[in-house]
Chain A
Amino acid sequence: MNPRYVPLAATVAIFLAAYALCFLQYPNMLSTRVIGNLLTDNAFLGIAAVGMTFVILSGGIDLSIGSVIAFTGVFIAVVLENTGLHPLVVFVLALGIATLFGGLMGAIIHHLEMPPFIVTLAGMFLARGMAFVLSIDSVPIKHPFYAVMKGFYYRLPGGGRITLIGGLMLLVFVVGILIAHRTRFGANVYALGGGAQTARLMGVPVARTTIEIYALSGFLAGLSGIVFSLYTSAGYSLSAVGVELDAIAAVVIGGTLLTGGSGFVGGTLIGILIMGLIQTYITFDGSLSSWWTKILIGLLLFGFILLQKGFLYLSKNKRRFA
Chain B
Amino acid sequence: MQGNDDIILSATGIEKVFPGAKALNNVNFQLRRGEVHALLGENGAGKSTLVKCITGAYRRDGGKLVLDGAEIDPRDTFEAQRLGIGTVYQEVNLLPNLTVAENLFLGRQPRRFGLVDAAEMNRRARALLSGYELDVDVRTELSSCSVAVQQVVAIARAVDLSGKVLILDEPTASLDAHEVEMLFAIVRRLKSQGLGVIFITHFLEQVYAICDRITVLRNGQLVGTRDAAALPRRELIAMMLGRELGDEIKQAGNAQASEGAVRYRFRGYGRKGHIAPFDLEVRKGEVVGVAGLLGSGRTETAEILFGAEKADSGTAEVDGKPIDISSPRTAIRHRFGFCPEDRKTDGIIGDLSVRENIALALQARRGWARPISRAEQDRLADRYIAALDIRTSDREKPIRLLSGGNQQKAILARWLATNPEFLILDEPTRGIDVGAHAEIIRLIENLCEQGMSLIVISSELDELVAYSRRVIVLRDRAHVSELVGEEVTTSHIVEAIAAADKREAGQ
Contacts and interface: CB of A to CB of B under 8 A. Distances in A.
Interface centre among B94, B95, B143 (most CB of A within 10 A): B95
Contacts of A262: 97
A315 to B, nearest CB: 7
Interface in B97-116: 97-98, 102-103, 106-107, 109, 111, 114-116
Interface residues of A, number: 27
B94 A198 contact: yes
A3 B93 contact: no
A47 B494 CA distance: 65
A90 interface: no
Given A3-B141, A201-B77, A184 B98 contact: no
A4 B95 contact: no
Contact of B106 (A2, A195, A203, A319): A203
A4 B97 CA distance: 9
A319 B144 contact: yes
Given A178-B115, A202-B106, A194 B93 contact: no
A187 interface: yes
A253 interface: no
A203 B78 contact: yes
B96 interface: yes
B4 interface: no
Nearest to A321: B273
B140 interface: yes
B141 A187 contact: no
Contacts of B114: 183
A202 B199 CA distance: 21
Interface in A295-322: 315, 319, 322
Nearest to B142: A194
A66 interface: no
A193 B141 contact: no
Given A4-B141, A315-B144, A322-B146, A184 B107 contact: yes
B51 interface: no
A195 B95 contact: yes
B102 A187 contact: yes
A204 interface: yes
Interface centre among B97, B103, B109, B139 (most CB of A within 10 A): B97
A130 interface: no
Contacts of A188: 106-107
B97 A261 contact: yes
B97 A199 contact: no
A190 interface: yes
A63 interface: no
A289 to B, nearest CB: 41
Interface in B454-498: none
Nearest to A316: B143
A202 B143 contact: no
Contacts of B140: 2
Contacts of A202: 93-95, 103, 106-107
B438 interface: no
Contacts of A199: 95
A201 B157 CA distance: 12
B93 A184 contact: no
A244 B418 CA distance: 50
Interface in B111-128: 111, 114-116, 118
Interface in A204-229: 204
A196 to B, nearest CB: 10
Given A198-B93, A201-B77, A202-B94, A184 B141 contact: no
A182 interface: yes
A191 interface: yes
Contacts of A198: 93-95
B97 A182 contact: no
A204 B96 contact: no
B118 A182 contact: yes
Given A187-B102, A194-B98, A201 B93 contact: yes
Interface centre among A3, A203, A262 (most CB of B within 10 A): A203
Given A190-B98, A194-B96, A184 B143 contact: no
Nearest to B109: A184
Contact of A187 (B77, B81, B94, B106): B106
A198 B77 CA distance: 13
A182 B98 contact: no
Contacts of B94: 198, 202
Interface string B131-146: 0000000011101101
Nearest to A318: B144
A191 B94 CA distance: 9
B77 to A, nearest CB: 7
Interface string B60-82: 00000000000000000110010
A318 to B, nearest CB: 8
A315 B93 contact: no
Interface string A174-189: 0000100111101110
A119 B98 CA distance: 28
A222 to B, nearest CB: 24
A176 to B, nearest CB: 14
Nearest to A263: B97
A183 B116 CA distance: 5
A150 to B, nearest CB: 34
Interface centre among A3, A198, A315 (most CB of B within 10 A): A198
A104 B143 CA distance: 34
B118 A204 contact: no
B116 A203 contact: no
Contacts of B144: 3, 315, 319
Interface in A243-267: 261-262
Contacts of A319: 143-144
20 contacts: A3-B141, A4-B141, A181-B118, A182-B116, A182-B118, A183-B116, A184-B116, A187-B102, A188-B107, A190-B97, A190-B98, A190-B102, A191-B95, A194-B95, A195-B96, A198-B93, A198-B94, A202-B93, A203-B107, A322-B146
Please list the 4 inter-chain residue pairs (A to B) with the smallest Cβ-Cβ separation, ordered nearest first.
A194-B95, A261-B97, A194-B97, A182-B115
Given A202-B95, A319-B144, A322-B146, 18 more contacts: A2-B140, A3-B144, A4-B141, A181-B118, A182-B118, A183-B114, A190-B95, A191-B95, A191-B98, A191-B106, A194-B95, A201-B93, A202-B94, A203-B78, A204-B106, A261-B97, A315-B144, A319-B143
